[in-house]
Structure 1
Amino acid sequence: MRSWLFVPGDSDRKADKAATCGADILIFDLEDSVAASQKELARKMVADRITDSGRDWSLWVRVNPLDGGLTLADLDAVVRPGLAGILLPKPEGGPDVSRLADAIASREAAAGIPAGTIRIAPVATETATALFTLGSYAPAHPRLAALTWGAEDLAADIGAATNRGDDGDFTAPYKLVRNLALFAAAAARVPAIDTLHADFRDVEGLECECRTSRRDGFIGRLAIHPAQVEVINRCYTPSEAEIIWAQRIVDAFAANPDAGALGLDGKMIDLPHLVAARKTLAAAGG
């Protein structure tokens, strides 16, 4: 779940390029990047790409918002074997995940897909109202795979001129939103995925944000261009030194199962360190 790359649903050229860029997840978009006149074509094009074999990345689809009257037609087209998940835009809390899950369930059954296969990740902060319901994602719905946040639609919703300052950093309101989304994911016990870095030419800025993001607890990031994928994958992959240290912590507690705290290389480690070490090893595929 390191790199989540958006791909316009109505562009075969961009889809072909994205499929070879190394992203962990491709999100075929039926929402903002597709004009209203192209929605039906995009559904067909995305549906034609959904297979259950022959790729080394997960295929997700961003459907249209639940209150827009297009979501069910999106699901009719894309719920088929090979679809890993649905990215839900503009939800207003956990009940919207349940609504979407119910709509997916009937289509899974019709398609012969085992119940619960298709997961859901909400973009949980795209409206002002949604900020006041972030706690409703916990306890997590069984289909909830991750939680991410968005700054672009939120800026439009509140009438902001921009969401970044002259230094390129998010302004104070959006830093608050980011932090709340991180805590909401933790409360729901699902991975937190950071939002996109809109300037895909700003490689240095992206890398800086990714390193800060991973430090704070995010495990991956949205991307809007294949050029961002390498930086994201590298920044959210634990280093060899981190892996070795995490394994030593796990091994130390395994050798002392009754210990609440231990000394390791002159440092005191306890249960929070063990939890963090296990997360590091999981991120490294261990």
Structure 2
Amino acid sequence: MKFCSLLFVPADSEKKFAKARETGADGLILDLEDSVAPPVKAAARATLGGWIDASSGPRGWGFWVRINPFDSGLAMDDLAAVVRPGLDGILLPKSNGGQDVVRLGHCLDALEARAGMAPGHVKIIVVATETAPAMFALGSYAPAHPRLAALTWGAEDLAAVVGSTSNKDESGDWSAPYQLARSLCLMGASAAGVPALDTLYADFRDDDGLVRSCRQSRRDGFAGRLAIHPAQVAGIKRAFTPSPEDVALAHKVVAAFEANPGLGTIGIDGKMYDIPHLKLARRTLAAATEG
């Protein structure tokens, strides 16, 4: 399952869904939460079920659905409408911790059985920083639930909860509370042994800024990024795909350690490499293969 680029698509727009399918995104997240107004959520659910049915055959992208949060009273109706052959996963918003993944997992167990799906097929990505309690529970996703596929984070809902007038500082970077949320998401995902996905880059017209930001994300350890607009997909994929130079060095590091299995430190081209470098090299090669 690929997570380099996941594109949000409103679940009430067939035109946007058709366009999104042609972007090359690794996954489409059909959104029943924030991008669908309350009066049309029921209609969006029904339409979305038909799209999932029509997409149940072979395709090059994952079919994900962001449901409404548990405390909205809408989550079970969302799940009942979308858990069917063709669905790959659920994006769970406003999770308060690992217990919400367990709760969602129980729901999916029953709904998969009803739909005749293989047990455990539907995976879960968690938006892990949208509530105040969630910030104290980033370690609760480890050990990972069998359905847990990735963690991501969000700043807008957290800002509303804590009363921030802005989540950015004067330079346009995340202010301290949101840098903390981003870092804890990354650490929580690492503890659980699942990929961390960076949050949205809001300015979809700023291609250069997006690529710079994504390169920082990859540098810090994120495996991919969420996209808010089809135009962002290409830039995200480009930034998260290891360069030929990165791949060449990774091959050198792996080959050197394989040729010298008894060594913990190896010199290559005048630089010293140890076991953490070997792990990073293998991760680079895996990312290059997935790309």
TM-score, reference length from structure 1: 0.97
CA distance in 1: counterparts of 2:256 and 2:145, whole angstroms? 34
Q: 2:215 aligns with which of 205, 208, 211?
A: 211
Give the aligned partner of residue 248 of structure 1: 252
Question: 2:26 corresponds to which residue?
Answer: 24
What does 1:67-78 align with in structure 2 at a 5 Å threshold? 67-78=71-82
1:143 pairs, out of 147, 161, 171, with 147
CA distance in 1, matches of 2:142, 2:181: 17
Deviates more, 1:198-207 or 1:240-249: 198-207
Offset at 1:249? Answer: 1.3
Question: Residue by residue, what CA displacement relative to the aligned partner does 1:103-162 show, whole Å, maximum 9, x if unpaired?
Answer: 011111111211111110110000111101111011111111000000011111111111
Pairwise CA RMSD of aligned residues? 1.1
Aligned to 1:260: 264
Q: CA deviation at 1:235?
A: 0.4
Pick from 125, 128, 138: which aligns with 2:129? 125
- The residue aligned with 1:167 is 171
- Partners of 2:31 and 2:175 lie apart in 1 by 27
Return the alpha-carbon distance in structure 1 between the equivalents of residues 118 and 255 of structure 2. 37
Number of residue pairs matched by the alignment: 286
SS of equivalent residue, structure 1 residue 168: coil
Write the distance in 2 (CA, Å) between the matches of 1:63 and 1:20: 23
Gaps of 5+ in 2: none
Shift of 1:102: 0.6
2:43 equivalent in structure 1: 41
Which residue of the partner structure matches residue 7 of structure 1?
A: 9
Name segments (4+ residues, structure 1) moved above 6 Å: none
SS at 2:78 equivalent: helix
Q: CA deviation at 1:2?
A: 0.9
Aligned residue type for 1:24: D
Letter of the 2:27 counterpart: I
2:172 counterpart SS class: coil
- How much has 1:166 moved relative to structure 2? 3.3
Tell me how far 1:200 sits from its aligned partner. 1.2
The structural deviation recorded for 1:172 is 1.6
What are the residue-to-residue correspondences of 1:82-161 with 2, within 5 Å?
82-161=86-165
Q: Secondary structure at the match of 2:9?
A: strand
Distance 1:202 1:158 in 2: 28
Q: Structure 1: which 5+ runs fail to align?
A: none
C-alpha separation between the residues in 2 aligned to 1:5 and 1:257? Answer: 42
Matched residue, 1:272: 276
Cα shift at 1:219: 1.0
Q: Distance in 1 between matches of 2:98 and 2:245?
A: 38
1: CA distance, partners of 2:56 / 2:267? 48
Alignment of 1:48-63 (within 5 A): 48-50=50-52, 51-63=55-67
Alpha-carbon deviation of 1:83? 1.0
1:251, distance to aligned residue in structure 2 (A): 1.5
